[in-house]
Amino acid sequence: MFEDFSLETVDVGPGAFRVRHGGTGPAVLLLHGHPRTHMTWGKVADLLSPYLTIVCPDLPGFGRSYLPLDTPDSRNSSKRAKAGALVELMLRLGHENVAVAGHDRGSLAAFRMAMDYPERVQKLIIADGIPVIEHLERADWKFARDWYHWFFFAQPEKPERAILAAPLAWYDKLSTALMGKQTYDDLVDIIHDPAAIHGMIEDYRAGIRIDHLHDREDRDAGRRVTCPMLCPWSLRDDMEQIYGDPVAVWRNWADDVRGFGIDSGHHVAEENPGALSQAIQEFLEHG
């Protein structure tokens, strides 16, 4: 994976990103979810790199990118803080105007980039995600049953202790067959690192503590995503079962949004990279 890509450490102020980039053409930033790193995008990156310049960082607090400093309200792990750092990363790499695609937790940072930096983000792709405030306001017993980790991870200290006691038992769905050995080995190393686990958990704490407040402020002020937006979701995941049509949710936040289901489980970049890369390429080329 990542054939002819460069692997770099790029300092942006709050800290340094681990980032791979390569390809040719207009730039697209690919943001991973939990508990993955940028490596989850490897198959998609190889499929897209003949047509697009691909930038794949570890999110702040994930993988080997910088660990945001702790605060009581988790503001340094907020999606607003991460969006600012990601914009600076792209500028350091020479990309002023970009498309952004995010999956899972990465979709929250991608959404915040589009909201806070509309002059930088030309197109937005959100895979298996909706705004934090939509998650929380729509939470019901199905959400509590199947996505309970959102609320467990919001608690102090206990989530880190639980995960680090047996990382491979907590993340028991990892497999070389699905991910590839290189991605698997990288992630197994990450989930045994207390700093990396803490950073990932702080991402969830920020969602409960501050991200939803930023969403509410935008909604109350009537701010919306102004660029074209694509919203694919995994048909063998539970996004549609819990929230209904994700496109209908996103129409509360964006004027130009379309979407469709992809035959995949949750980790679509690994499970169906062909369909996802085709969706990204067609959307970026033809909108």
Give the contacts of 118 (CB within 8 A, at least 6 positions apart): 225, 226, 227
Pairing of strands 98-103, 121-127: parallel
Sheet of strand 121-127: strand arrangement = 6-11, 16-23, 53-57, 27-31, 98-103, 121-127, 229-234, 257-262
Q: Is 121 helix (H, G, I), strand (E, B) or coil?
A: strand
Is 46 annotated as catalytic? no
DSSP, res 225: B
Amino acid at 227: C
Structure tokens at 158: 């206990």
- φ/ψ of residue 202, rounded to 5: -60, -30
Candidates 32, 95, 266, 267; catalytic one: 266
Number of other residues whose CB lies within 10 A of the CB of residue 224: 17
Structure tokens at 236: 């063998």
DSSP, res 228: -
Is 104 annotated as catalytic? yes
Give the contacts of 175 (CB within 8 A, at least 6 positions apart): 184
Amino acid at 176: T
DSSP, res 245: -
Candidates 58, 104, 128, 186; catalytic one: 104
As annotated, the active-site residues are 104, 266
